[in-house]
Amino acid sequence: MSVDQLHELPIHQAQKLLHSREISARELTDACLNRLASVEPHVNALLTVCSEHALAQASAADRLLASDSAAPLTGIPFIAKDLLCTRGIVTTCGSRMLEGFVPPYDATVIDRLLRQGSVLLGKSNMDEFAMGSSTEHSAFFPSRNPWNRDFVPGGSSGGSAAALSAGEALFTLGSDTGGSIRQPAGFCGVVGLKPTYGRVSRYGLIAFASSLDQIGPFTRDLHDCALVMNAIAGQCHKDSTSAPVSVPDFTSFLNRGVRGLRIGVPKEYFGAGILPEVRTCVEDAILLLERMGAYIHRDISLPSTEYALAAYYIIAPSEASANLARFDGVKYGFSRQRATTEDSVTATRGEGFGPEVKRRIMLGTHTLSSGYYNAYYVKALKVRHRINEEFQRAFEQCDLLAVPTSPTVAFPLGSKIHDLLQMYLTDILTIPANIAGIPALSIPCGFTDGLPVGLQLMANRFREDVLIQAGHAYEQATEWHLRHPDL
């Protein structure tokens, strides 16, 4: 492989070349930075590029490789969503409110990767404070889908998905509150994993909805996904919500096949609103899994699924209202000074937040206000409990659930930005996993009109191993994940 093609390598192949000294971390980083410079004007995936920083890290990685003290991800270039704090590097959360903010510390996931000798290339674009499904709500510019640059890459982690799909890094990090890893992964034709709530530390993540947010990887295949999860998963004493659960070697679940696995197909995920071509791709994938030896259960029902979207848009904005109260222009970030403190805070929040963030803050504040708390928020928590119970009953019968990642493929830029209901409905199939706190995975399973289709697999809590096992088996039988956009 020529030097100008190194950016196309999956992690597990690059890892072998690095450890055998056939390539250097500096060469691999240069290849990604060159690719980034070439394609970034077409996809607008990044908010910050850290070229000098990355090259210095690559040189340090080469020293580790030369001393035989390298870790599995030493020298591997990656990009992080811009809501993960990075010491000494601007972290904006896609918002004017944090424009120019430089954190004094690294998020736990960043720290763990840098300790392995991974190379941070930059920070990816996103919907402001992770509130959006298309990356059109970024305060700076919309990102574009590498498969068709007139279409959205999904959101809110659209920049991370587009960057990986375009070959700008070997893996990227995103966050998933209601589908923000899986939906853009599906739209951009890459692998995206939302781990179990508590599996990956949220320390250093600028919170949107604290009981729903989870950090996870975008990768080119499931082998790479397992390698990244090995690096970032595990309890963190700085995050009280990270679970004290042991982390297996996820790579040990590769090549196990699906024979004997029980896969449920809940009927509620195949109803009205699913694009026929999407349904066909997903059903073909399920039939293939059956031919490979999995048992398919088509009598699974999750009847409260229809209430998940409504519950989410009560719980998430309520938590956002509380989390974003700290952005008042007093201590850090954007600030507008007026005659009184009250006027200053009003001006700061009025100018610093975009319309979608303001909308959700107001919705959440209203929901938590006196007279409405029990009628809305408490009721939404009861729905959440019921959804969780239904998932648990389903997992008594099945090891996995297989459904579409999204009702449609990527849609044209600007087509839904003013139609809030249609925009919110793009996450209708991903939100339930966040509500229940279970892990879920999106993998490429076909194309329609030149745009990727995603297959979503869901498993019980802390069973990312089964997702990786089944996803890898499906990959070995197909070639969808090997396709790349022509840029």
Q: State the pLDDT at residue 416.
A: 96
CATH number of domain containing 39: 3.90.1300.10
* CA 23/CA 2 separation, integer angstroms: 10
Question: Which one from 133, 156, 318, 442 is the annotated catalytic residue?
Answer: 156
Average pLDDT, the chain: 96
Residue 480 three-state SS: helix
Rounded to two decimals, the pTM is 0.97
For residue 173, give the H/E element and its range: strand 171-175
Q: What is the pLDDT of residues 165-202, one digit of tens each?
A: 999 999 999 999 999 999 999 999 999 999 999 999 99
What one-character DSSP code corresponds to residue 427? T
Sign of the CA dihedral running 370, 376, 378, 379? positive
**Any domain includes 189:** yes
**Any domain includes 51:** yes
Question: Which one from 133, 143, 165, 180 is the annotated catalytic residue?
Answer: 180
Q: How many secondary structure helices (H) and strands (E) does the chain include?
A: 15, 11
The domain total for the chain is 1
CA 39 and chain centroid, separation = 21
Domain carrying residue 33: 3-256
Q: State the pLDDT at residue 395.
A: 98
Q: State the pLDDT at residue 371.
A: 87
* CA 211/CA 92 separation, integer angstroms: 22
**Any domain includes 163:** yes
Do 49 and 11 contact (CB within 8 A), yes or no?
Answer: no
Tell me whether strands 191-194 and 400-404 are parallel, antiparallel or unpaired. unpaired
| Distant-in-sequence, close-in-space partners of 145: CB < 8 Å, separation ≥ 6 | 43, 151, 152, 153, 154, 162, 165, 187, 188, 410, 451
Single-letter amino acid code for the residue at 218: F
Question: By C-alpha distance, which of 209, 255, 234, 266 is closest to 456?
Answer: 266
**Any domain includes 141:** yes
For residue 431, give the H/E element and its range: helix 431-436
**Any domain includes 269:** no
Q: State the pLDDT at residue 331.
A: 84
Helix runs in 44-143, H state only: 51-66, 108-116
- 180 included as an active-site residue: yes
Q: Is the peptide bond before 156 cis (omega within 30 degrees of 0)?
A: yes
Q: State the pLDDT at residue 1.
A: 63
Do 98 and 54 contact (CB within 8 A), yes or no?
Answer: no
Single-letter amino acid code for the residue at 67: S
- Angle subtended by helix axes 355-368 and 308-323, to nearest 10: 100
Q: What is the dihedral of CA 150, 155, 156, 158, to 10 degrees?
A: -60
* CA 468/CA 124 separation, integer angstroms: 25
**Any domain includes 393:** no
Tell me whether strands 440-448 and 191-194 are parallel, antiparallel or unpaired. antiparallel
**Any domain includes 230:** yes
- 304 included as an active-site residue: no
Question: Which one from 81, 123, 194, 416 is the annotated catalytic residue?
Answer: 81
- The DSSP annotation for 12-63 comes to HHHHHHHHTTSS-HHHHHHHHHHHHHHHHHHH--EEEE-HHHHHHHHHHHHH
* CA 161/CA 152 separation, integer angstroms: 11
CA 209 and chain centroid, separation = 15
Do 373 and 367 contact (CB within 8 A), yes or no?
Answer: yes
**Any domain includes 291:** no
Sheet holding 262-264, edge to edge: 46-49, 119-124, 77-81, 171-175, 215-219, 191-194, 440-448, 451-459, 400-404, 262-264, 295-297
Do 84 and 73 contact (CB within 8 A), yes or no?
Answer: no
Do 458 and 198 contact (CB within 8 A), yes or no?
Answer: no
Q: What is the dihedral of CA 185, 51, 205, 318, to 10 degrees?
A: -70
Residue 300 three-state SS: coil
Q: State the pLDDT at residue 173.
A: 98
Would you report the helix, strand and coil content of the chain in percent, each value rounded to 5? Answer: 45, 15, 40
Q: Which residues of the chain have pLDDT under 50?
A: none
